[in-house]
Structures are given as C-alpha cells and as structure tokens.
Amino acid sequence: MSGSNRPTITQDAVMADINAQADDLLAELGIFDSSSSASPAPPPPPPATGSGPAPPPPPPPPPAVKASPTTTTTGPSAKPAKTNRPAKTMQEELDEVFDSVISFANKASNRKKTPPPVAPKPKRKTHVSSYTVDIKGNKATPVSQPAAAPSTQPAPSLAPSVPTPPKGSPVKMAIVEPTAFGPGLESFEVNTPGTFEVSCAPETREKDLEVKAVGPTGSKNVIIEPLGTGQFSCEYTPSVAGEHKVTIKVKGKEIKGSPFTANVKYASYTDKAEAFGPGLEFGTTDQPCRFTVRLKEEAGFTRMRVHILGASRAEPIEMAEIEDNAIEVTYHPTAPGEYTIRVLWGEAHVKGSPFNVNVTGPINNDPSKVKVTGDGLSGGQVGEPIKLFVSADVGSGPGPLGVKLIGPSKPSIVADDSSEEGVEVTIKCLDPGEYRMMVKWGDEEIPGSPFVIPVGGKGRDIKPELCTAIGDGLTHGKVNEFAKFIVHIPEDAGPGSLGVSISGPHPPKPIEIINNQDGTMDVNYKPLAPGEYKINCTFGDLHIKESPFTAKIEGEAVRNPLLVTASGDALIKPVLCGQLAVISIVAGEGAGAGPLRAKMEGPSKADLHLQSTPEQTFEASFCPKDSGEYKLYFMWGDGNDDESQIAGSPFTIKVE
C-alpha cells in the first residue's frame, strides 16, 4: 500500500474517540445514556476514493463535553481555526475533557440521597420499656418511634462513584475528602444514642475507618454500621453529661473537623404538663400501677414519652384519655426493686421526672410465654457452636433464664443477653451423642423442655474430667491474704489450656497462675472483701472435675475511700433549681469493695439516687427544689461515715 493511500489520523479523530469514551463512562455511572442521547446521528460515511480505505467518521460528542476551542469538528479534513491563543497540547486537551466529565458526574451524584442509617441496638444494662404517643389537640395517638434529634450541620454530598482508570491512563481522578455530620458530633441528651454519619470515597471499607469517643469517664464503645458506597452510620451512648471528644480517622488520617466536640447534656424541663399519682410513688407486682399526666391548655401539639427502667420490663405500658387534657398511664412490673420512670413532653421532662419508684411483692414469672428457636434445636457437630435463641413475650416476668445440658460430656454454655429481642445461647460439645437441654424461666421449665439435641462427629481429644484441683483456696480464705490451690493436669487429659475465673462480692484481680512444668499449676488470688466466692476451673473451655468450687472468705473488707473520686459540672458550677444534676463516681484500683453510700443536706429535701455502672463506676443524680447551699456526702464502705468519705467529700453544691 502506498503512503498516499494510508488513512490520516487527525487530532479531531482522537478528540472524537475521547468523547465516545466519555459517553460510555457516563452511561456506566447512570448519569448519561448514550443510546438515548439527543445528539444528532452521525452522517453516513463518504464513498471510498482510491484503492485505500477511507478514515472512519468520528462519533458525535456528548452534550456535556464541548470540543476544544482551538479546533473545528466539521469533518476529518477540517483545518484548525485561527486564534490568537497558543495551541493546546494533546495532554491539555485530555485533561480538559476528563475535568468536564468529573464535574458533570459530581453534580449528578449530589442529587442522590444518602441511604437511611441502620441504628444497631445498644447492649442492655437493665430492663427498659418505652411508650410514645402523638398529642394533637391534646388527643393521644400511639406512634412507633420518637423523632430523632435533627442535625444542625448540612448533610455532605455523596462521593461520586467514578471508576478507577486503567493503569497508565492520562486521566486524573477526583479526590473525595471524608466528612462527618450528625447530633452525635454536636449536642444530644445523656443516656440516649449519639448518632452520626461518615461519608468517604466509595472504595472505603469498614476496616479503613477508626472512630473513638472519649468522655469524662473514659472511652465509650462506638458501633459502626456500613451503609455502602463509602457511607457509615456510627453510634455511642454516654452515661454521663459533659464534653465528649470524637476522633475520626480514615486510613490512619484524621478527617476535617476531627476531633469533634459533642456537648452531652441532661434533659431540660417543661411546665406544660405535670405527672402525679400513686404509680410514681410506689407499686406492687401483683397489680397494675397507674399515674396521670395532665396537660395545660397551652401544651400544644407534640409527643409524650414514658420510659421505665427497672428489675422487669413492666409491660404492657398502656395509655388512655380519662378526661379532657388528662392521660392515665398504666404499667405492670413483675419483679420487686427500684424503678426509674421518665415522663417527657416533647424533648423535655415534666417536673419531678425522672421519678424513683419502689416496687414490692413477689416475682411473677410466666414460663408459658418463653420460647426457644434456632437451628441448634435440630442438632450440630462436635466442637462447633450450636446456637439457640430464647425470647420472652410481654408478661413473661423477669426470669432469670436457666439452661442446663445432660449428655455424654459436659458442654460449654455461653449466654449473650445484649439483644433487646432475647438471649442468644451458644453450646459447644466435645463428644457425640444425644444431649437433653433443660430450659427454666425462674424456677419452672418452659413448654417443650427438655429439648433433645443430637450431636454428631468425632469424639474429643481432651478429657477435662481427668484434671483435679486441691488446696485450701478452693474452700476458704481470709481477706487481704493470698488464697492458694494447685491444679493437676495429667498427660492423658490431652492438649488444652487451664482457665480460672472467680466471681463474688469483689472479684479479686489479678489471678496468678504459675506453670510448674511438672503437670501442675499453682493458682494464687487475694480477696479484698468477705463472702462466698465461686471458682471456675476449666481445661479446654470445659470444667475440670468438681468445678465450680465455692470458697468462703472471712475478715474485714479492705477499702481505701481516698482512691474513690467524683466529677461533674454540679461540683464546680451552680445548679439551677428544679434541674436534674448528675455526678460520676469512679473507684480506682485498690479502693476495695465498697459499697458506695451518699447523703445530702440543704434547704430542702433533694431526692438522691445512686446507680451503678460497669467497672466500679457509679452515677449520683438529684433534683433540688429550693435554691441555696447544699452539702453532698459520699461514703465508701459500710463503716463510720467520717472515716469512709471519699476524696473531696463533703462537696458544696450551690443551687440558684
């Protein structure tokens, strides 16, 4: 073929090819459909001249991409238009085209809505019951969930889903900067979930995201839920008020605005409604408890919420209008103990809320309302987890749940009650055969119990029943003295490891285990409080012979009140009259077993409520009704008040 007949590839042809690729890219993004484009159809190819093939006509450009101002696109033989500006290089032309594509993609992607976050349920610390109604014209209408607190920050645009160009491509990728927004980064109420969302590049995975929340009492557990396309829903629940620092990192680098400062505050109060009645003062487990919420004429339209926390779920919670502007609330506790009742009008507590109610009477359990479900009922394999789910309907009572298995070997049983729906039970057996599982609710077996669970597979390689323990520390001991015992693990017990855990009035930490390299292990622990302690000794996660053991510890408890500290705004700032104030108390290492006691003196009686939280931490809340100066005393242990006061006690509280 001669050189004169060779097809001529012009810059216009290259630009047309780039435009066609841009069409395909936009079509993949769902932003531009090349098959339905309003662009005119390409003209038919001109007839071939000469012996060589004619150059192919360029496809039409997409509407969003304009040709370079230095060229014309009327045909393959068109000449560059005259201009006073210097001609652009091929790289500059390519950069300009792709910048136009990215700009168009970003604008279209910003019109997409962020998927709604899926809020994971927090772990249950106590039984909680809630009821919410809409108030329209002072008429109550039940609703499913209260509205979430709106965020004051604008929701960020979603990152455009732009495909990564092939290696060596001259196109430039858009850089997406991660952002975060939501009430959990701004301001919300104590003991309620602080939620927020993090928006990252589409390829960001959960392992790339690191979120930490730290408050006055230390770090808080943050639950992260992936929503797809680089979007994440996050949540944490503070137990005390004050500033909480939230640090957000993506691939090890802090995002813009991090660390965020969230103001966690206590509930506000309203005078538009009032609550009163015997159900806010006392109750019994054998009859319904009632109280009344009266609305003032100017109460307007909003929501009324009732939350009950206590020894049982106190369900069902019922609301009924008994007269104009008055709603009667009925709840049904099934276990005695202290209950906290919160009555909220809109987002604010009514006067006196939260109310502390002492419920007396016997425990009322109904095992017929408890059921077991799950694939584990049909059996499982040796060494593999067998999972079951135990759920209790309204009116079942507080339980507790008891699960026991009888079979060829003693299996391990782990119960997880972090779900509000019920308790997940995980069983692991080391020998095949039939196991009879007895499930009790309180003192009675539930319907269908005992359940027969077949377990298949090969028998175990370890034999924990061959392991034995001896020593005084298994049966008795003295406070603040080391209690000791020895565990013997013979060779024919198989491969495994020794596990020791101790529970009781004040579990001793640490537990010292020494391997004597002769098949025996020395175990030492030092109890700091008297009482009965349960000692669990396991080999390969299964109890050894005669485990668990019960040791009775005698003597006076060891306590150091000066290692117990208190913190909170109420200790350094004036408290408003009628406003709930909360103080955090932390027992440091070596403080001993407690218990924590408190009393308050001042112009009027301020209802003082103590609540324990995990890891030797406590909350003290009070609501002063009169202004003036109050004295707040905290004592650690049950000894003399003056000798038991914690560091800084008594505290002076000023009420305005």
Q: Render pLDDT for 470-497 as a digit per residue (tens, 0 to 9).
A: 999 999 999 889 999 999 999 888 888 8
- Of 181-195, 425-439, 514-528, the one with minimum mean pLDDT is 181-195
Distance CA 564, CA 583 (A): 13
Band of the pLDDT at 20, cuts 50, 70, 90? low
pLDDT at 10: 56
Query: Is there a contact between 223 and 120 (Cβ–Cβ < 8 Å)?
Result: yes
Query: Which CATH number fits the domain that encloses residue 500?
Result: 2.60.40.10
Q: CA angle, corner 64, sides to 63 and 67, nearest 5?
A: 80
Q: Does 612 share its domain with 567?
A: yes
Q: Give me the mean pLDDT over the 204-213 stretch.
A: 90
pLDDT at 620: 86
pLDDT at 614: 57
End-to-end CA distance of the chain: 101
Report, in angstroms and rounded to the nearest whole number, the Rg of the chain calculated over CA atoms: 35
Helix (H) and strand (E) counts in the chain: 2, 47
> Which of 456, 490, 512 is the endpoint of a domain?
456
pLDDT at 7: 47
State the DSSP code for 561: G
Band of the pLDDT at 212, cuts 50, 70, 90? very high
Distance CA 24, CA 363 (A): 70
Residue 441 within any structural domain of the chain = yes
Residue 400 within any structural domain of the chain = yes
Q: Which domain holds residue 602?
A: 561-655
Q: Does 571 share its domain with 643?
A: yes
Instruction: Read off the pTM.
Output: 0.42
Distance CA 31, CA 93 (A): 23
Partnered with residue 250 across adjacent β-strands are 209, 253
Q: Does 323 share its domain with 338?
A: yes
SS3 624: coil
pLDDT at 72: 39
The residue behind tokens 């050894």 is 544
The residue behind tokens 């019922």 is 318
SS3 518: coil
Residue 219 within any structural domain of the chain = yes
Which residues lie closer than 8 Å to 293 by C-beta, 6 or more apart?
273, 274, 275, 304, 326, 327, 329, 343, 350
Q: Does 479 share its domain with 515?
A: yes
Distance CA 269, CA 355 (A): 13
Residue 111 within any structural domain of the chain = no
Q: Does 288 share its domain with 316?
A: yes
Phi first, then psi, for residue 618 (nearest 5°) are -140, 160
- Of 121-135, 358-372, 448-462, 526-540, the one with minimum mean pLDDT is 121-135
Q: Does 547 share its domain with 572?
A: no
pLDDT at 541: 78
Q: Is the pLDDT of residue 175 over 70?
A: no
Whole-number average pLDDT of the chain: 76
pLDDT at 249: 93
**Structure-model confidence comparison of residues 277 and 614, the more confident one:** 277
Q: Is the pLDDT of residue 625 over 80?
A: no
> Which of 506, 530, 554 is the endpoint of a domain?
554
Q: Is the pLDDT of residue 148 over 60?
A: no
Q: Does 196 share its domain with 260?
A: yes
SS3 35: helix
Residue 590 within any structural domain of the chain = yes
Query: Is there a contact between 352 and 379 (Cβ–Cβ < 8 Å)?
Result: no
pLDDT at 149: 43
Q: Give me the mean pLDDT over the 582-595 stretch.
A: 82
Q: Does 258 share its domain with 188?
A: yes
Band of the pLDDT at 437, cuts 50, 70, 90? very high
Q: Is the pLDDT of residue 94 over 60?
A: no
Element (H, E) at 3: none
- Of 261-265, 616-620, 631-635, the one with minimum mean pLDDT is 616-620
pLDDT at 64: 44
Distance CA 522, CA 503 (A): 19
pLDDT at 575: 85
- Of 62-71, 187-196, 299-308, 594-603, the one with minimum mean pLDDT is 62-71
Q: What percentage of the chain has pLDDT greater than the value 90? A: 27
Q: Render pLDDT for 278-326 as a digit per residue (tens, 0 to 9).
A: 999 999 987 899 999 988 876 666 678 888 888 888 888 888 888 888 8
Q: Render pLDDT for 362-394 as a digit per residue (tens, 0 to 9).
A: 888 899 999 999 999 999 998 889 999 999 888
Q: Does 487 share its domain with 502?
A: yes
Q: Is the pLDDT of residue 167 over 80?
A: no
Q: Render pLDDT for 508-529 as a digit per residue (tens, 0 to 9).
A: 878 999 999 899 999 999 988 8
Residue type, 47: P
Distance CA 230, CA 159 (A): 8
Element (H, E) at 27: helix 11-29
SS3 404: strand
Residue 588 within any structural domain of the chain = yes
Distance CA 245, CA 537 (A): 41
Q: How far is CA 393 from CA 278, 371, 397, in A?
A: 27, 9, 9
Return the number of other C-beta atoms located less than 10 Å from residue 508's C-beta: 19
Residue type, 223: I
Tokens linked to 503: 């529970």
Q: Does 376 share its domain with 449?
A: yes
Tokens linked to 210: 């690191």
Q: Give me the mean pLDDT over the 241-251 stretch.
A: 89
pLDDT at 39: 40
Tokens linked to 448: 């269908």
Tally of structural domains, the chain: 5
Residue 87 within any structural domain of the chain = no
Residue 63 within any structural domain of the chain = no
pLDDT at 478: 93
Tokens linked to 72: 């014309």
Q: Is the pLDDT of residue 218 over 70?
A: yes
Segments of 348-450 assigned E as strands = 348-350, 355-360, 370-373, 380-381, 386-392, 401-406, 412-416, 423-428, 433-441, 444-445
> Which of 360, 394, 422 is the endpoint of a domain?
360
Q: Is the pLDDT of residue 147 over 50?
A: no
Distance CA 351, CA 380 (A): 55
Q: Pairing mode, if any, of strands 268-270 and 348-350?
A: parallel
Q: Does 489 share its domain with 550?
A: yes
pLDDT at 198: 92
